[in-house]
């Protein structure tokens, strides 16, 4: 049952082939069996079975959605009332959220069953899921490889069949990159499409929640629940939410695809490039037209991103001071000692690095030179995308320069680690929607195709991804030890 789609599982639940309690228990058993992946920080077994029983009652009454009774998991960045919410950090190891994030609330209303909270890079800062206080997550395709980050726990759980689907967040590629490395489908919506209320902030102008699932169809079902205006989030956009499944089967004949020449230069692994070329050829067969486009300011994306994201992280994480909630040092001598030791002991190395970079960029004398300049570069990058998307319908390219690298391989070299997000970061700076879909295997590990669309065109991206998944089976493949 763990390899079935949401639609197939929903049919089984309605026909009485199995109950939500039976389905949920099957997933809980798999989670216990494969605990070595380290996907979950918290498994909510009792709560899951309670929710499953309530879902069965709801199905019996004929009051069910497609997600009613479906076992899902939440990235541990979304607040969950009465359940520990850690953000992968020692700082929040003892934090029990007093309310639900809007995304969690919406899944509860739809009748989804929460299996637990998923491991992640600390405060979503990382590209490999190695910065978590709870240890690295392992890639189910290669247990010695990283699953990607920061939503590595979400990607690994879905790939290994330890959840039907999962939520993720994407600040600079943290849905798409782990989706690519674990061979699943991941969608970063347009900034403002999914509420950030109750989603613990890293970089407020970049963070966006989104779905992670096996297929584009499952991602569409999830996004239908997640998307929509929320008055509690000042960055939420008040636009109607389309029916994301309605257009999945539309023909894509005549689709204009742009390939940025800057995506295919030095640094891209040749085998990954071959995977992308093969995927683009499949789109040619479906009637798409291919055109080269140029975005000359993409080379500035990484420095601009790390100035902006670090500055916002410095501001957002200032609230964790050992006073109101979270980790507090033992026996502080005075207020300064309380602040200094609580933050020094509670945050990990990567989080401290970004706080320091961000505080420096925002400090007197450097604000104009770094932060303001980075925001001007951000506009140039956004303009590059607008120009390209005026010529083509979507942009395609790689998600990451290579397949998943080994655990420990880059953790000691921050610059090399940051470069692993070179193809994803610019999309967050522009606020555009983008997704990763499985497109091939490199050295026994998955590689994804990235599809980038115009603002609020998630329905189009899902349609394009779904059409590819109708003629290929990469999204149906599972790691051999988790079939």
Active site residue 174: yes
CA dist 221 and 58 (Å) reads 19
Cβ atoms of residues 405 and 267 within 8 Å: no
Q: Is the dihedral of CA 344, 348, 351, 357 positive or negative?
A: positive
Q: Choosing from 20, 75, 180, 436, which is the catalytic residue?
A: 75
At residue 203, φ and ψ (nearest 5 deg) are -130, 105
Q: Choosing from 89, 127, 132, 150, which is the catalytic residue?
A: 150
Active site residue 75: yes
Active site residue 480: no
Number of residues that this document lists for the chain: 483
Cβ atoms of residues 446 and 482 within 8 Å: no
At residue 194, φ and ψ (nearest 5 deg) are -115, 135
Q: Choosing from 19, 127, 174, 342, which is the catalytic residue?
A: 174
Cβ atoms of residues 76 and 116 within 8 Å: no
Apex 305 CA angle, 176 and 277, nearest 5: 40
Q: Which residues are catalytic?
A: 75, 150, 174
């Amino acid at each position: 049952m763990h390899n079935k789609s949401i639609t197939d599982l929903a049919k089984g639940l309605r026909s009485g082939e199995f109950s939500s309690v039976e389905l949920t228990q099957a997933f809980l058993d798999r989670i216990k069996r494969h605990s070595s992946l380290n996907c979950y920080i918290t498994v909510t077994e009792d709560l899951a079975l309670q929710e499953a029983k309530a879902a069965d009652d709801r199905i019996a009454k004929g009051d069910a959605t497609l997600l009613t009774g479906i076992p899902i998991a939440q990235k541990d960045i979304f607040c969950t009332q009465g359940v520990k919410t850690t953000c992968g950090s020692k700082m929040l190891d003892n934090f029990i959220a007093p309310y639900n994030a809007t995304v969690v609330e919406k899944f509860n209303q739809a009748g989804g069953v929460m299996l637990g909270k998923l491991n992640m890079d600390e405060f979503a800062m990382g590209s490999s899921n190695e910065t978590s206080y709870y240890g690295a997550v392992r890639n189910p395709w290669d247990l010695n490889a990283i699953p990607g980050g920061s939503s590595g726990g979400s990607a690994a759980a879905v790939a290994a069949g330890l959840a039907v689907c999962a939520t993720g967040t994407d600040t600079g590629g943290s849905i798409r990159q782990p989706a690519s490395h674990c061979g699943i489908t991941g969608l970063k919506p347009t900034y403002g499409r999914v509420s950030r209320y109750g989603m613990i902030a890293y970089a407020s102008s970049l963070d966006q929640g989104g779905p992670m699932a096996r297929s584009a169809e499952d991602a569409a079902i999830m996004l239908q629940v997640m998307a929509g205006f929320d008055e509690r989030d000042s960055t939420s956009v008040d636009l109607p939410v389309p029916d994301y499944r309605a257009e999945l089967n539309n023909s894509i004949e005549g689709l204009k695809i742009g390939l940025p020449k800057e995506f295919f230069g030095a640094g891209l692994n040749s085998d990954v490039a071959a995977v992308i070329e093969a995927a683009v050829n499949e789109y040619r067969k479906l009637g798409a037209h291919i055109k080269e486009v140029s975005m000359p300011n993409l080379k500035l994306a990484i420095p601009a991103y790390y100035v902006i994201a670090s500055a916002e992280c410095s501001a957002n994480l200032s609230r964790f001071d050992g006073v109101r909630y979270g980790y507090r040092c033992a026996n502080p001598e005075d207020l300064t000692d309380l602040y200094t030791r609580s933050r020094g002991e509670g945050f990990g190395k990567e989080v401290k690095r970004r706080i320091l970079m961000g505080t420096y960029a925002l400090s007197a004398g450097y604000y104009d030179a770094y932060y303001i300049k980075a925001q001007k570069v951000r506009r140039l990058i956004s303009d590059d995308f607008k120009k390209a998307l005026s010529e083509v319908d979507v942009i395609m390219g790689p998600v990451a320069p290579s397949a998943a690298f080994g655990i420990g391989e880059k953790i000691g070299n921050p610059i090399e680690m940051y470069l692993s997000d070179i193809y994803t970061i610019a999309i967050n700076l522009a606020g555009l929607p983008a997704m990763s879909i499985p497109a091939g295997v490199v050295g026994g590990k998955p590689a994804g195709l990235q599809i980038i669309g115009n603002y609020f065109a998630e329905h189009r991206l899902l349609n394009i991804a779904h059409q590819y998944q109708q003629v290929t089976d990469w999204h149906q493949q599972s790691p051999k030890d988790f079939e």
